[in-house]
């Protein structure tokens, strides 16, 4: 009877699935990347899940803290920015009894959310920043210690409850734990939450009845959809996978050997050859061949083949997210002391191929990435989010918490729609190096705008500072859309026409703030359209590109004119 019960539990566990980049029952699904023959086209494993990185105090390059989340939304749809002003009032149900609770927002906040989750509906942000200099982001974990009521709050309600009222990071932590867990037992899902404030950061692991908090005053942290502090509380992990998050095995094994890390599941060594082994998930799973020096995920495990000696193989085995975290930390630690917004952007674009088949930071779908920068000076105005929809096919744009407006395309889903089309046309990575040049210019311009804003704030001119930040942010947001539209139109050109205009488009992205360069590009495209032999379809898209360049010219000219007189 006990064996039958265990077998049923294993089946349920596999059907539910722990957060994973691969399906245990089928071959890894790959996204086919469409693109130009002149560009390298790679394929990356599909997956799902949220990824979190923070850098605090001396880990960063300046007097600020950083938080980054790549969101694979539980509520799929176009991702947008949703600002909620101070004083906004709404009603939401009690997490157990369903009666209406009245809330009034004490701190303006901006959330990254699905387009359907904006007012007049209840906003449900997957990551969020407020004007007290606090940012919160989360990643789901697997636990049944949750509120079973139909009125239970989800993770978005949980974060909104804290961010709308917290004056500082300690209050945010208290609202997320003491209030939401100890008092309300509110949540229908277990979470890892990264909270970053002006002076420190914190990691919260929590469900409806338990929580653990780890403060971070200096250093880095990275995590995804798995517990560490609550590993032995969320029993499915130790029961099926490993006794501890960091449990490992290193040793020699023979054919037929089953290796476990303290859980019911393990790895079965099916075959040992001269330079490889074949292994599969135990009690059942697909076979995978692994060569000497190579590592691969198998189910929820990570197996590396270290050596072979006759009929024996030396292996290293661990929980796959233990290895994922180690690999990410190795990448991040090289930059400790100098971590910037630019680094966070780059890490959001790490792919599965960069991590030996483990979960990539960038995986496609309705993905979005947001990087938060919390400065020590004037955080209520200068705290910034950098937002990218499908970050491998779009440009990160800045939004200060003190900005008075956001360009419509980032609030109505238009920006994400363009990014999805670019991802389909160009695939992963093919636009990254091009868009990084634009982002580098945006970072420089933002720093210049902040210097001017600080001067205005020191003079007591808060409204002028907010207007300056708004105009600066929106100008870059508009430029990003114009550049992305230009590349989208170029993707519809014939291969011959694309090859002709490609170098010019590259030069534009390198010098997109140079009005003379843009004007020359407009003349070049205009002349090209008049040449004999250009297909009528190509002429249509060249005309669209010309219009995109003209729009970019006007945006840049307005920007330069504004800053000359301010």
Which pLDDT band holds residue 22 (cuts at 50, 70, 90)? very low
The secondary structure of 333-386 as a DSSP string is HTTTTSB-HHHHHHHTT--GGGGTTSPPS---SS-EEEEEEEESSSHHHH-EEE
Which pLDDT band holds residue 72 (cuts at 50, 70, 90)? confident
Which pLDDT band holds residue 228 (cuts at 50, 70, 90)? very high
The Cα–Cα gap between 472 and 562 comes to 9
The secondary structure of 453-515 as a DSSP string is HHHHHHTT-HHHHHHHHHHHHHHHHHHHHHHHHHHHHHTTS-HHHHHHHHHHHHHHHHTTT-H
Q: Mean pLDDT over residues 488-506, rounded?
A: 95
Q: Give the pLDDT confidence of 131-155 residue by residue, as tens digits.
A: 999 999 999 999 999 999 999 999 9
Secondary structure of residue 534 in the 3-state scheme: coil
Is 231 in contact with 220 (CB distance < 8 Å)?
A: no
Lowest mean pLDDT among 31-45, 86-100, 242-256, 289-303: 31-45
Q: In terms of pTM, does the model score above 0.75? A: yes
Q: Please name which of 454, 452, 482 lies closest in space to residue 548, comparing C-alpha atoms.
A: 482
Is 131 in contact with 402 (CB distance < 8 Å)?
A: yes
Other C-beta atoms lying within 10 Å of the C-beta of residue 447: 11
Q: Which domains does the chain have, with CATH numbers?
A: 51-227+324-424 (3.60.60.10), 236-322 (no CATH), 451-564 (no CATH)
CA 299 to chain CA centroid, Å, is: 23
Q: Per the structure block, which two tokens stand in for 2?
A: 């006990």
What are the distances in angstroms from CA 436 to CA 57, 356, 396, 559?
25, 24, 9, 20
Contacts of 63 (CB under 8 A, 6+ apart): 375, 376, 377
Contacts of 182 (CB under 8 A, 6+ apart): none
Q: What pLDDT is stored for residue 561 in this prediction?
A: 64
- Residue in the block written with tokens 């496609």: 364
Q: Mean pLDDT over residues 361-380, rounded?
A: 93
Secondary structure of residue 212 in the 3-state scheme: strand
Q: Mean pLDDT over residues 296-306, rounded?
A: 97
Query: Is pLDDT above 50 for 276?
Result: yes
Sheet holding 79-84, edge to edge: 79-84, 109-114, 127-130, 134-141, 190-196, 201-206, 211-216
Backbone angles phi, psi at 349, to 5 degrees: -105, 10
Q: Give the pLDDT confidence of 29-58 residue by residue, as tens digits.
A: 222 233 333 333 233 334 468 999 999 999
What are the distances in angstroms from CA 213 to CA 123, 134, 202, 384?
26, 16, 7, 25
Q: What pLDDT is stored for residue 41 in this prediction?
A: 29
Query: Is pLDDT above 90 for 74?
Result: no
Secondary structure of residue 422 in the 3-state scheme: helix
Q: What pLDDT is stored for residue 94 in this prediction?
A: 98
């Amino acid at each position: 009877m006990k064996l039958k019960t265990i077998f049923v539990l294993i089946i349920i566990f596999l059907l539910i699935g722990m957060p994973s980049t691969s399906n245990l029952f089928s071959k890894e699904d790959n996204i086919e990347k469409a693109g130009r023959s002149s560009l390298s086209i790679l394929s990356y494993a599909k997956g799902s899940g949220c990824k979190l990185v923070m850098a605090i105090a001396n880990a960063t390059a300046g007097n600020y803290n950083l938080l980054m989340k790549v969101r694979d939304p539980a509520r799929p749809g176009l991702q947008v920015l949703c600002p909620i002003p101070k004083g906004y009032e709404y009603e939401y149900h009690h997490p157990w009894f369903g009666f209406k609770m009245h809330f009034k927002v004490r701190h303006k906040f901006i959330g990254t959310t699905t387009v359907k989750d904006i007012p007049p509906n209840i906003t449900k942000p997957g990551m969020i920043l407020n004007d007290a200099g606090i940012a919160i982001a989360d990643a789901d974990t697997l636990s049944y210690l949750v509120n079973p009521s139909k009125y239970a709050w989800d993770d978005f309600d949980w974060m909104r409850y804290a961010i709308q009222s917290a004056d500082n990071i300690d209050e945010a932590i208290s609202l997320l734990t003491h209030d939401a867990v100890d008092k309300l037992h509110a949540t229908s899902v277990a979470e890892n939450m990264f909270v970053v404030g002006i002076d420190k950061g914190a990691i919260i692991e929590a469900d409806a009845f338990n929580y653990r908090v780890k403060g971070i005053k200096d250093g880095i942290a990275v995590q995804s959809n798995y517990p560490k502090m609550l590993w032995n509380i969320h029993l499915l992990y130790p029961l099926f996978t490993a006794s501890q998050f960091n449990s490992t095995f290193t040793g020699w094994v023979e054919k037929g050997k089953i290796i476990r890390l303290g859980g019911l599941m393990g790895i079965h060594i099916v075959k040992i050859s001269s330079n490889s082994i074949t292994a599969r998930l135990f009690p059942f799973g697909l076979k995978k061949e692994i060569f000497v020096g190579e590592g691969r995920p198998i189910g929820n495990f990570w197996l590396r083949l270290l050596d072979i000696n006759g009929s024996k193989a030396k292996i290293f085995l661990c929980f796959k997210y233990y290895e994922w975290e180690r690999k990410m930390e190795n990448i991040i630690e090289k930059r400790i002391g100098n971590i910037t917004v630019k680094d966070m952007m780059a890490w959001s674009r790490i792919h599965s191929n960069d991590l030996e088949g483990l979960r990539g930071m960038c995986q496609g779908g309705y993905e979005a990435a947001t990087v938060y920068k919390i400065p020590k000076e004037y955080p209520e105005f200068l705290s910034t989010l950098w937002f990218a929809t499908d970050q491998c096919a779009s440009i990160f744009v800045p939004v200060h918490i003190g900005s008075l407006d956001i360009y419509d395309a980032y609030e109505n889903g238009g920006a994400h729609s363009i990014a999805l089309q670019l991802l389909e046309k160009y695939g992963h990575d093919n636009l990254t190096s091009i868009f990084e040049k634009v982002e580098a210019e945006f970072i420089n311009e933002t720093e210049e705008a902040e210097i001017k804003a600080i001067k205005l704030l020191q003079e007591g001119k808060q409204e002028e500072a907010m207007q300056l930040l708004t105009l600066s942010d929106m100008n870059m947001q508009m430029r990003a859309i114009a550049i992305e539209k230009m590349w989208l139109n170029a993707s519809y050109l014939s291969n011959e026409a694309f090859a002709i205009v490609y170098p010019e488009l590259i030069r534009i992205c390198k010098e997109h703030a140079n009005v003379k360069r843009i004007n020359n590009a407009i003349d070049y495209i205009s002349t090209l359209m008049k040449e004999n032999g250009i297909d009528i379809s190509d002429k249509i898209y060249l005309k669209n590109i010309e219009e995109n360049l003209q729009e970019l010219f006007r945006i840049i000219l307005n920007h330069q004119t504004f800053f000359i007189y301010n």
